[in-house]
């Protein structure tokens, strides 16, 4: 596995970057997806999803094995590893802590993780409609409990994805569990369908995406960052890359963690305005894209939405 150089991590452990800006409308059909919490049956994905050989990153991307795994992060248990119940505040706007443990094949909490992209565990949280996306890095105590200060912005059914490498196997896993955040009134639970969006603004930066996603083929997506109409060339390494892309399939939030083209940046290097990723979407459909990028020490997340073509 390629070792990534380490960089100062300016995003504090507890800081989260979140997107609440997506234009959304009520969309009730997502509510049925909460039943995926214990989705350990791989059969419905196996035929088309076990195809590491199709992964354009095979051979040089440390994620190649688990990005295209059978469950796409929708399972709570895989290869004997399990994410336990996620404890978090039960309602919105209530400060607290989000915590969980990862247990291994022997049932005990796992405490030995191998760093990947400068962190031993990456936690992605999104509501069932893809809104309220968070990418944070909890800390682990000696007993293997991961925790991070937490407050929900809105009620609903959320999925929490833990992306990690148990040192015992060296094989990356993404496991997830759902968390329900109670609403005071039923109207607060209205969900919002994503609609295709290839341009967005975050923190004064304009981000566009070009390219198209062809299902089951490596497809190139190019993001361009500009500010006040000028290309931004001061993109900084964040977690060992000039950008991180998480793609969630609209509907079930199947999870794809994608890494950019090119070698890991050297410390102090800057890049821009383009960041290019190769993504392999497992099925036709709509994909919610969350691009993390860093400028002047601050991390931004740009939410975009692309439908597959062909």
Strand partners, 163: 122, 174
Question: In terms of C-beta density within 10 A (0-12 exposed, 13-18 middle, 19 or more buried), how is residue 55 classed?
Answer: middle
Q: Closer to Cu ion by CB, 30 or 244: give it.
A: 244
Q: Which is nearer to Cu ion, 251 or 300 (CB)?
A: 300
CA–CA distance, 21 with 302 (Å, rounded to integer): 10
Residue 122 lies near Cu ion (rule: CB under 5 A): yes
Q: Does 120 bind Cu ion (CB under 5 A)?
A: no
Q: Cis omega before residue 309 (within 30°)? A: no
Q: Are 178 and 159 a contacting pair, CB within 8 Å?
A: yes
Coil/strand/helix, residue 6: coil
63 versus 122: smaller Cβ distance to Cu ion? 122
Min dist. Cβ of residue 246 to Cu ion (A): 9
CB of 160 to Cu ion, least distance (A): 13
| CB atoms near residue 9 (< 10 Å) | 16
Q: Answer yes or no whether residue 249 interacts with Cu ion by CB under 5 A.
A: no
Q: How far is the CB of 239 from Cu ion (least distance, A)?
A: 6
Subset of residues 181 to 240 that bind Cu ion, contact rule: CB under 5 A: none
Q: How far is the CB of 9 from Cu ion (least distance, A)?
A: 10
User: Which of these ranges, 102-110, 118-126, 207-215, 260-268, lies near Cu ion under the rule CB under 5 A?
Assistant: 118-126
CA dihedral 6, 146, 254, 129 (to 10 degrees): -110
2 or 187: CB nearest Cu ion: 2
Sign of the CA dihedral with 108 first, then 111, 116, and 118 last: positive
Closer to Cu ion by Cβ: residue 163 or 206: 163
Give the residues lining the site for Cu ion (CB under 5 A): 122
């Amino acid at each position: 596995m390629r070792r990534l150089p380490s960089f100062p991590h300016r995003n504090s452990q507890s800081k989260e970057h979140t997107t609440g800006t997506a234009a959304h409308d009520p969309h009730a059909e997502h509510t049925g997806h909460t039943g995926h919490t214990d989705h350990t049956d791989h059969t419905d994905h196996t035929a088309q999803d076990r195809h590491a050989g199709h992964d354009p990153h095979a051979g040089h991307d440390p994620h190649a094995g688990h990005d295209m795994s059978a469950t796409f992060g929708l399972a709570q248990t895989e290869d004997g590893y399990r994410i336990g119940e996620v404890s978090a505040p039960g309602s919105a706007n209530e400060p607290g802590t989000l915590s969980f443990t990862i247990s291994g094949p022997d049932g005990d909490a796992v405490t030995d993780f191998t760093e990947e992209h400068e962190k031993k565990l990456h936690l992605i949280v999104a509501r069932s409609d893809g809104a309220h996306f968070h990418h944070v890095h909890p800390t682990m105590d000696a007993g293997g409990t991961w925790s991070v200060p937490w407050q929900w912005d809105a009620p609903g059914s959320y999925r929490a994805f833990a992306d990690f490498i148990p040192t015992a196997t060296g094989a990356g896993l993404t496991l997830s569990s759902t968390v329900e955040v109670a609403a005071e009134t039923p109207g607060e639970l209205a969900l919002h369908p994503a609609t295709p969006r290839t341009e967005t603004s975050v923190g004064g930066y304009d981000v566009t995406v070009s390219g198209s996603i062809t299902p089951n083929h490596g497809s190139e997506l190019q993001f361009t960052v500009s500010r006040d109409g000028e290309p931004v060339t001061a993109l900084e390494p964040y977690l060992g890359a000039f950008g991180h892309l998480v793609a969630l399939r609209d509907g079930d939030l199947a999870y794809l963690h994608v890494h950019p083209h090119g070698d890991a940046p050297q410390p102090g290097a800057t890049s821009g305005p383009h960041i290019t990723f190769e993504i392999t979407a497992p099925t036709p459909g709509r994909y919610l894209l969350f691009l993390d990028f860093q400028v002047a020490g601050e991390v931004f997340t740009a939410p975009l939405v692309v439908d597959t073509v062909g």
